[in-house]
Amino acid sequence: MNAVIDAISTYARARPNHPALVDLATGRRWTYAALHAEVDRIAAWLVANLGPASGARVATLARNCAEMILLQHGCVRAGAIFVPLNWRLAQPEIQTLLEDAAPALILHDADLHLPGAIGRRDLISQLCALAASAPAAPPAQARQAADAPSTLLYTSGTSGRPKGVMITELNAFWGSTNFIHGNKVTWDSVFLCDMPLFHTAGLFAAARTPILAGGTLLVSQGFDADLTLARLADPALGVTHYFSVPQMAQVMWNRPHFNPSMLSRLSVYAMGGAPNPAAQVARFIRVGVPMSDGFGMTETGSNFGMPVDDHERVLSKPGSCGLPYLSLQVRIVDEDGMDVEVGEAGELWVSGPSVSPGYWNKPELTQSAFKDGWFRTGDLARRDADDFYWIVDRKKDMFISGGENVYPAEVEAALAELPAIAESAVIGVADEQWGEVGCAYVVVAHGHSLSAEAIRNHCRARLARFKTPKHVVLTDRIPRTASGKVQKHLLKYVASDLSGQTVAVPADSAAG
């Protein structure tokens, strides 16, 4: 499709002197006119080094900074594909992503060691200086079509292998448009982005949305409860919109100096990334903070949200992720793909222009997940008679720790590398700080000895810390069905102290 979607160039003409982007760590600022010129120079530099409309991947391994926003938009104008990698991952995990994406250029922070990286150390912070020597603007024919991939975001795979979600500019436009219309976003909106820019919540919901609306984006290096509260309360910054996972809201609420008035300037406090306890929603709303739960995915963009001006209705629907956004069509189906009745649980399917065309280098997985115009989310949901939706369970075993998706199969694959482990099973268990954390049940092979700490150290060397099980339970057996499937629902009811002591588990079920 030949449509050109470029909010920055639009507002560079319509409101050239309006503040567009601020890097809070350095104090650097860009108006829309300055941002437009900077993005053009970066795009021209990329075209000069990679060629026009190349589809080449440009990867980053960097903490939040304004240059990541500049680079993403520069990639769009140059016809390259932006690939922000999760810097929290372990080296073997990062290497796997690099092998899959095969980037032509890797830009990274100086302190994030990346053996074999293409490019220079600390190129993120030098990007603007390098681009200054390039032509003023890229050629018009450099862009890819609006329905071609422009960003590649990696999300963990249920098989233990990562999935690269292809996001087009049409997807980005409609995902952000959904958020704009669902959350009172205007030209005067100011977003504070603490969420990581390698996640869809940061890169699109919190960062692309205000730029598409002509507002202002404040980029921070990351969440710090005290600093974030100070920024949200600062009248000079004038933050109107904030997006976080529930655990971040809980941490701020529990700070000794917290006062609800610190959030009084917010038009919307949007919540996503993990289940938000109904008690927390009520707690914030009753002190005047307009908290709105929602639901979205890397594959689908922003999909659902609570009506932000109707607090009574929000409080009457505890736990709901709200109503479908503007461009979304929704189905809840049974195992045969037939729509279920109101109030019944089934798999959530979504369709619309914000939905990704599929997974990078994974045609079979794309064909099974994106079928007949519908994306099969793998989440179990239900809706009520008022068309409010609830995510009631995960069809797969994934759990969420501090807003990060953790797939047990990936952790179990790492555990299987230890010869002393005969078998293992990983589940998510409740945790006051992170919402959920991993609990690994491990059967030690005959003739071997292994401590819980040794198991955790093994995982830390191979996995991100949020994937490393907080609890390790040594046991003599793992319950399985007659067909050999692990009965994880039984493990959740094991009465253990989660301290690494050997415990007994329930008997196997005869169910297949």
- Residue 491: band (very low, low, confident or very high) from pLDDT cuts 50, 70, 90: confident
Q: Tens digit of pLDDT for each residue in 429-468? A: 888 889 899 999 998 988 888 999 999 999 999 999 999 9
Q: Per mean pLDDT, which range of 101-115, 311-325, 446-460 is the poorest?
A: 101-115
Is the pLDDT confidence value at 339 over 80? yes
pLDDT score of 512: 37
Same fold, 7-328 and 401-503: no
User: Percentage of residues in the chain with pLDDT exceeding 90?
Assistant: 60
Give the predicted TM-score (pTM) of the model.
0.84
Closest CA to 297 of 324, 273, 327: 273
Is the pLDDT confidence value at 489 over 50? yes
CATH code of 7-328, in short, is 3.40.50.12780
Is the pLDDT confidence value at 152 over 50? yes
Q: Tens digit of pLDDT for each residue in 47-86? A: 988 999 999 999 999 999 999 999 999 999 999 999 999 9
CA 295, 300, 303: angle at the middle one, nearest 5? 35
Q: Tens digit of pLDDT for each residue in 188-212? A: 999 999 999 999 999 999 999 999 9
* Segments making up each domain of the chain, as ranges: 7-328, 401-503
325 vs 431, higher pLDDT: 325
Tokens of 37: 């010129």
Tell me which CATH homologous superfamily contains domain 401-503.
ANL, C-terminal domain (3.30.300.30)
Q: Tens digit of pLDDT for each residue in 294-316? A: 999 999 999 999 998 888 898 89
pLDDT score of 482: 43
Question: β-strands 389-394, 374-383: how paired?
Answer: antiparallel
- Evaluated on CA atoms 421, 405, 277, 386, the torsion sign reads negative
pLDDT score of 31: 98
Tokens of 342: 């109101």
pLDDT score of 155: 85
Q: Are 196 and 64 in contact (CB under 8 A)?
A: yes
Tokens of 18: 């309006």
**Interatomic CA distance for residues 480 and 488, integer angstroms:** 8
pLDDT score of 504: 53
- Evaluated on CA atoms 491, 494, 497, 502, the torsion sign reads negative
Q: Are 396 and 407 in contact (CB under 8 A)?
A: yes
Closest CA to 223 of 200, 201, 244, 253: 244
Q: Tens digit of pLDDT for each residue in 377-414? A: 988 899 999 999 998 766 677 788 998 888 787 888 78
- Only one residue has tokens 């990060």, namely 404
- DSSP code per residue over 170-195: HHHHHHHHHHHHHTT--TT-EEEE-S
pLDDT score of 148: 97
